[in-house]
């Protein structure tokens, strides 16, 4: 049994829901993200938010998976401040919906001034509406710098670290995140983030407190079964079932339950 706390099912087929259910997935959370192209208006985001809060929960339920979401305008579309602010203005009307857990995945992409400004405005939005926060850290060569900028902005905003998950950590950023009291997510990608083996190494070196794994499955090279594959890697190394359950079920359950809306189909 497991929870995949970060997966973009709008980009995946219904067959993937079936395979995830067969592998033991009982709940997922789906942050709002970049569609692979820039949307031309806030209306495009309004329709996307309806997809995330109406259509995907129904599709997931057909396979016994509880679906939840996080809403925002992602950093790749944050260079246009006018569009970003217009999109943020429509988010509050969705926040009361039963499957919306908070604001995400916000953060930085290329570490630009406009991205940082919109990130800070999202933090203000979350604060005004008492929302939890899911954060995207940048890719590859931009990750270390972006993680430092994000952590500084979080500290400046005075958010409760226990209600913030900083995602896509790797060997050079995991300690920065955990040492400041935030939750950390490891994304299991075949090329550009952690492999299941490296995630297992990170658990062994940095422990299993306030940290989880996710597939972040989307329209690029990714694997919606990455979480059970990491479970299998841990099992093959001789880790106890209790430890495997902690990082792939209990930890996400503990963090996400703070929203008051999170549920699994096993509960």
Partner 1 sequence: MTNPDERCPVPADEVVGRYFLEHRAKLLDIAAFLDRVERAGAPDDDFRIEAMHRAIDQLGVKGHDRARRIQEIFSDPSLEPVDAAPMKGALGAHDPESADD
Contact footprint for partner 1 (CB under 8 A)? 34, 76, 79, 109-116, 138-145, 148-149, 170-172, 175, 178-179, 197-198, 201, 204-207, 237-239
Give the burial string for 111-122 (b: 16+ CB within 10 Å, else e): beeebbebbebb
- Smallest gap, in angstroms, from Cβ of residue 202 to partner 1? 9
Rounded to an integer, what distance in angstroms lies between the CA atom of residue 82 and that of residue 57? 30
Instruction: Residue 158: name the closest of 119, 117, 127, 118 by CA.
Output: 127
- Smallest gap, in angstroms, from Cβ of residue 43 to partner 1? 22
- Smallest gap, in angstroms, from Cβ of residue 259 to partner 1? 26
Q: Find all residues with CB under 8 Å of 40, minimum gap 6, and list them.
A: none
- Check: CB of residue 134 under 8 Å from CB of residue 31: yes
- Check: CB of residue 105 under 8 Å from CB of residue 70: yes
Residues facing 164 on adjacent strands: 133
Length of the chain, in residues: 267
Which residue, 16 or 170, is less far from partner 1 as judged by CB? Answer: 170
CA 138 to chain CA centroid, nearest Å: 13
Which residue, 11 or 114, is less far from partner 1 as judged by CB? Answer: 114
Which residue, 147 or 264, is less far from partner 1 as judged by CB? Answer: 147
**CA neighbours closer than 13 Å in the CB half-sphere of residue 164:** 25
Rounded to an integer, what distance in angstroms lies between the CA atom of residue 29 and that of residue 196? 20
- Smallest gap, in angstroms, from Cβ of residue 69 to partner 1? 23
Which residue, 91 or 176, is less far from partner 1 as judged by CB? Answer: 176
Q: State whether residue 203 is helix, strand or coil.
A: helix
- Smallest gap, in angstroms, from Cβ of residue 200 to partner 1? 8
Which residue, 47 or 179, is less far from partner 1 as judged by CB? Answer: 179
Which residue, 129 or 237, is less far from partner 1 as judged by CB? Answer: 237
- Smallest gap, in angstroms, from Cβ of residue 144 to partner 1? 4
Which residue, 16 or 115, is less far from partner 1 as judged by CB? Answer: 115
DSSP category for residue 161: G
Instruction: Residue 227: name the closest of 264, 206, 199 by CA.
Output: 199
- Smallest gap, in angstroms, from Cβ of residue 262 to partner 1? 26
């Amino acid at each position: 049994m497991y929870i995949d706390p970060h997966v973009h099912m709008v980009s995946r087929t219904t067959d993937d829901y079936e395979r995830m259910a067969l592998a033991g997935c009982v709940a997922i959370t789906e942050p709002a993200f970049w569609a692979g192209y820039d949307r031309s208006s806030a209306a495009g985001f309004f329709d996307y938010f309806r997809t995330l809060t109406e259509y995907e929960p129904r599709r997931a339920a057909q396979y016994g998976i509880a679906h939840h979401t996080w809403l925002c305008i992602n950093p790749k579309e944050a260079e246009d401040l006018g569009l970003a602010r217009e999109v943020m203005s429509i988010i509050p009307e969705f926040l009361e919906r039963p499957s919306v857990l908070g604001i995400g995945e916000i953060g930085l992409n290329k570490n630009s001034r406009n991205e940082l400004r919109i990130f800070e405005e999202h933090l203000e939005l979350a604060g005004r509406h008492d929302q939890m926060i899911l954060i995207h850290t940048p890719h590859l060569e931009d990750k270390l710098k972006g993680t430092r900028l994000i952590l500084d902005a979080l500290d400046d905003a005075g958010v409760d670290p226990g209600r913030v998950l900083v995602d896509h950590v790797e060997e050079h950023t995991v300690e920065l995140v955990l040492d400041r009291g935030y939750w950390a997510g490891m994304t299991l990608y075949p090329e550009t983030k952690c492999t299941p083996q490296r995630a297992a190494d990170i658990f062994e070196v940095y422990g299993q407190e306030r940290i989880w794994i996710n597939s972040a499955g989307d329209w690029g090279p990714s694997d919606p079964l990455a979480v059970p594959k990491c479970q299998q890697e841990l099992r093959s190394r001789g880790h106890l079932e209790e430890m495997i359950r902690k990082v792939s079920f209990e930890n996400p359950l503990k963090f996400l339950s703070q929203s008051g809306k999170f549920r699994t189909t096993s509960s």
